Amino acid sequence: MDKPQKNPTSQIGTSTPKSKFEDSPVFNYISNLSPIESVKSISTAQTFSSLSFTSPPPVFTSPHVNSHRESRFLRCHYSVDRAKHLESLDGSAIKEEVVVPVIEDLNKEASLEDEEETSVETAYELPQILKFSSQTPEDSDSPCTEDVVIEASSDPPRGDGGSSSEDVKMGVENMLVVREEKDTPDCGRLISDATELLVFRSPNDSEAFRCLVDKISSSERRFCAGVKSTKRPKITEDVPANGSSNENEPLTVLPNESVFNLHRGGMRRRCLDFEMPGKRKKDIADDHQSVCDNNVAGESSSRCVVPGIGLHLNAVAMSAKDININLIHDYSISGEIQKSFSGSTIPIHSQNTVQETSDQAENEPVEEIPKALEFPSLNLGSLKKKMQKKRKSEQAGEGESCKRCNCKKSKCLKLYCECFAAGVYCIEPCSCIDCFNKPIHEETVLATRKQIESRNPLAFAPKVIRSADSVMEAGDDASKTPASARHKRGCNCKKSNCLKKYCECYQGGVGCSMNCRCEGCQNVFGRKEGSLLVIMESKLEEDQETYEKRIAKIQHNIEVSKEVEQNPSSDQPSTPLPPYRHLVVHQPFLSKNRLPPTQFFLGTGSSSFRKPDSGLTQSQNEKKPLETVAEDKTEIMPEILLNSPIANIKAISPNSKRVSPPQPGSSESGSILRRRGNGRKLILRSIPAFPSLNPNQ
């Protein structure tokens, strides 16, 4: 375990005696230092490079809420996704053991990033961090770069990691060793792996990136202008060098960086590419191909292991499939961890997922991921099966593809066309007829796009808004669920009950909201808070007493679940609660069409149950359930509006039709209506109920 210290000692024994004896103390010291120094310098290089990608300038200001999250890019999605994944691994004890150190280190890493590329001392620490967080991408690179660093970093019992358990360290170390053995031969591959891992950990644009990658790999014709880095062209050019041969460079970093750029700016740029027509094509054509080729080299197909079904490239929602994607790559890591902890729960093949980015990864992980996933708000076996089935069929069929349109009459120049709507050119695999959405017709495309945008400025904006971005900052990453994002405009489903992909909310993996005009919403990701209407209806139908009893009962249930959560030793309620029990608990409520307001809003946020004072007291609720809703929202709304630029626009969007509130005749409902009828104001307040997702509310 003390290898780093060992080495110096051995060197003392061997090298120094050969030099002059009288100087031996000094030389010993110096010679001891020098090898370490070299290692240091290398790691410093890594750090420098790695740091360089921590603070890329915001090249594009995207309409979606992003900026503040970017600064914590790594921390946010690393920790969240990993935590999610680990959670999904059924392990309870294991989960906790693993998650803690990992997140700690990740936070550390993040904090390092925050300090920016500054001191060498900071840089010097990086290897340590890489070690523990190296369960992930960085780790896979390292074998390539230098085994020394890995050894040094992986062996010593770092203090921070030690806080949790030796098992964690051992697990990681074992993993590292295994990786080292297997990976060393193929550095390029590893780089690709790292890239891949990093990319797919992204909570946001994984779909988009997938599409990009797929496009690039399948055909260079697809317009991938966004990848071209306008501000940092050099980086993109560095990638190839690294990806191919350069072993001395900080491999850990550059791929990440490139991917990072790709991911951050690239996709957005890509979506915005229509706005900078002139420049694009030439540079991009070359640049891009090189970048894309290099990024994708050797792994193209694997990128789309799970076929993309998302709405838009820049769709933000972390739908189940996104998580799946993440898991596919995270899986091996966690699998290894778990293996090292709990024996052989996870088959060894899972390791291959990272090492073999190839098609082989398609089946097994995809098979297993859903099992581990247990998508939080779903709890639907049938849905899961369905998705699995779908995935399989897609794999077998179209293969690992992302959006490919099939337009026949629109010439791919209308939003009907998914490619066009996503801001990308159609490519070969598209089955479109008479397609104008091609670089050749760039001007036409631009003009059309402009026209559409003039009609609806948000036409090309992401359809799904991740409203929880700000929430994440607050700290409780666990609270980030797909339900925390919302469809921009809301759906208008009439017959599908928001249970099929006809529904854009469902397709985006988000719950319906007050923006939705859907009827009979059964969206498994979250029913529209139109349930407020349902609430009112139910309130009308029920006499007050019954209603309050129900609320009390619900509150009681919530309390019970809270207790269970806080006191794991106690027996669980009748329904065994998965890691997402807080979500599952309120599922039954949601399944009833009458949803008491307080309960609903308590339940909407995954963390709400954890936070005792997140809602009002039971007595309060019993007295004024509806007012409670209003109050909560009143506090919440401004934040949402602030955090979501689109939301601002949305408020004035002509598209946001609204379901008229019921027009009950009873006096009681009258008051309610008066409150709502105050008009617009109240209605607006009731829009953002998601904020209740915010653990800090």
Binding-site ranges for DNA (CB under 7 A): 309, 390, 405-412, 414-418, 421, 452, 455-456, 459, 463, 489, 491-497, 500-504, 507, 654, 657
- Nearest distance from C-beta of residue 425 to DNA, angstroms: 14
- Closest among 229, 215, 231 to 424, alpha carbons compared: 215
Distance, C-alpha 498 to centroid of its chain: 23
What whole-number distance in Å separates Cα of residue 263 and Cα of residue 267? Answer: 6
What whole-number distance in Å separates Cα of residue 533 and Cα of residue 254? Answer: 52
Partners of residue 511 on adjacent β-strands: 486
Shorter beta-carbon distance to DNA: residue 459 or 560: 459
- Nearest distance from C-beta of residue 597 to DNA, angstroms: 25
Shorter beta-carbon distance to DNA: residue 272 or 419: 419
Q: Quick one: residue 151, left, alpha or beta (phi over 0 = left, psi -120 to 50 = alpha)?
A: alpha
CA angle 634, 554, 666 (to 5 degrees): 65
- Nearest distance from C-beta of residue 650 to DNA, angstroms: 13
Shorter beta-carbon distance to DNA: residue 20 or 500: 500
From residue 562, alpha-carbon distances to 7, 428, 575 in Å are: 52, 54, 14
What whole-number distance in Å separates Cα of residue 195 and Cα of residue 295? Answer: 8
Partners of residue 487 on adjacent β-strands: 464
- Closest among 392, 393, 416 to 403, alpha carbons compared: 416
Query: Which residues are within 8 A (CB) of 96 and not within 5 positions of it... i.e. 6 or more apart?
Result: none
Report yes or no: 182 and 246 within 8 Å, Cβ to Cβ. Answer: no
- Nearest distance from C-beta of residue 268 to DNA, angstroms: 19
| Cβ atoms < 10 Å from Cβ of 615 | 23
For 234, counting Cβ atoms within 10 Å of its Cβ (0-12 exposed, 13-18 middle, 19+ buried), the class is exposed
- Nearest distance from C-beta of residue 424 to DNA, angstroms: 13
Which 3 state secondary structure label does DSSP give 337? helix
- Nearest distance from C-beta of residue 385 to DNA, angstroms: 12
- Nearest distance from C-beta of residue 487 to DNA, angstroms: 8
Shorter beta-carbon distance to DNA: residue 292 or 387: 387
Residue in the structure block whose two tokens are 């027996």: 571
- Nearest distance from C-beta of residue 503 to DNA, angstroms: 6
- Nearest distance from C-beta of residue 463 to DNA, angstroms: 7
Sign of the dihedral defined by the CA atoms of residues 297, 301, 306, 307, in that order: positive
What whole-number distance in Å separates Cα of residue 215 and Cα of residue 224? Answer: 8
- Nearest distance from C-beta of residue 353 to DNA, angstroms: 26
- Nearest distance from C-beta of residue 498 to DNA, angstroms: 7
CA angle 419, 497, 389 (to 5 degrees): 60
- Nearest distance from C-beta of residue 642 to DNA, angstroms: 24
- Nearest distance from C-beta of residue 614 to DNA, angstroms: 31
What whole-number distance in Å separates Cα of residue 44 and Cα of residue 76? Answer: 24
Shorter beta-carbon distance to DNA: residue 149 or 402: 402
What whole-number distance in Å separates Cα of residue 558 and Cα of residue 575? Answer: 13
- Nearest distance from C-beta of residue 648 to DNA, angstroms: 17
Q: Which amino acid is at 453?
A: E
- Nearest distance from C-beta of residue 326 to DNA, angstroms: 20
Shorter beta-carbon distance to DNA: residue 243 or 462: 462
Report yes or no: 537 and 665 within 8 Å, Cβ to Cβ. Answer: no
- Helix axis angle, 147-154 relative to 137-145, nearest 10°? 130
DSSP 124-138: HHHHHHHHHHTTSHH
Which 3 state secondary structure label does DSSP give 464? strand
Helix or strand (DSSP H, E) at 465: strand 464-466
Query: Which residues are within 8 A (CB) of 440 and not within 5 positions of it... i.e. 6 or more apart?
Result: none
- Closest among 681, 672, 676 to 539, alpha carbons compared: 672
Report yes or no: 144 and 253 within 8 Å, Cβ to Cβ. Answer: no
CA atoms within 13 A on the CB side of 223: 30
**DSSP state at residue 205:** T
Residue in the structure block whose two tokens are 């950990």: 201
Shorter beta-carbon distance to DNA: residue 14 or 655: 655
Shorter beta-carbon distance to DNA: residue 408 or 592: 408
Shorter beta-carbon distance to DNA: residue 371 or 501: 501
Shorter beta-carbon distance to DNA: residue 569 or 660: 660
Shorter beta-carbon distance to DNA: residue 137 or 462: 462
Shorter beta-carbon distance to DNA: residue 91 or 307: 307
- Nearest distance from C-beta of residue 654 to DNA, angstroms: 4
Report yes or no: 401 and 429 within 8 Å, Cβ to Cβ. Answer: yes
Shorter beta-carbon distance to DNA: residue 93 or 396: 396
Report yes or no: 618 and 554 within 8 Å, Cβ to Cβ. Answer: no
| Cβ atoms < 10 Å from Cβ of 59 | 18
Shorter beta-carbon distance to DNA: residue 29 or 416: 416
Shorter beta-carbon distance to DNA: residue 478 or 505: 505
- Nearest distance from C-beta of residue 368 to DNA, angstroms: 22
Shorter beta-carbon distance to DNA: residue 239 or 405: 405
- Closest among 232, 205, 207, 209 to 287, alpha carbons compared: 232
Helix or strand (DSSP H, E) at 487: strand 485-487
From residue 222, alpha-carbon distances to 142, 213, 225, 402, 460 in Å are: 33, 10, 9, 12, 18
Shorter beta-carbon distance to DNA: residue 107 or 496: 496
